[in-house]
Amino acid sequence: MEPVTNWADLPEFADEAEEVAYWLAHELDGKLMATSVREADSRESTTITLRFDPRMLSRIKRMARSRFLNYQSMIKQWLAERLEEEMRKG
pLDDT band with cut points at 50, 70 and 90 for residue 59:
very high
Higher pLDDT, 39 or 25: 25
- 3-state SS, residue 27: strand
Q: Which among 49, 36, 40, 42 has a CA at the least distance from the CA of 7?
A: 36
- Rounded to 5 degrees, what angle do the CA atoms 46, 50, 55 make? 145
Contact 74, 66 (CB under 8 A): no
Select the more confidently predicted residue: 17 or 90.
Answer: 17
User: C-alpha distances in angstroms, 7 versus 29, 35, 36?
Assistant: 10, 11, 10
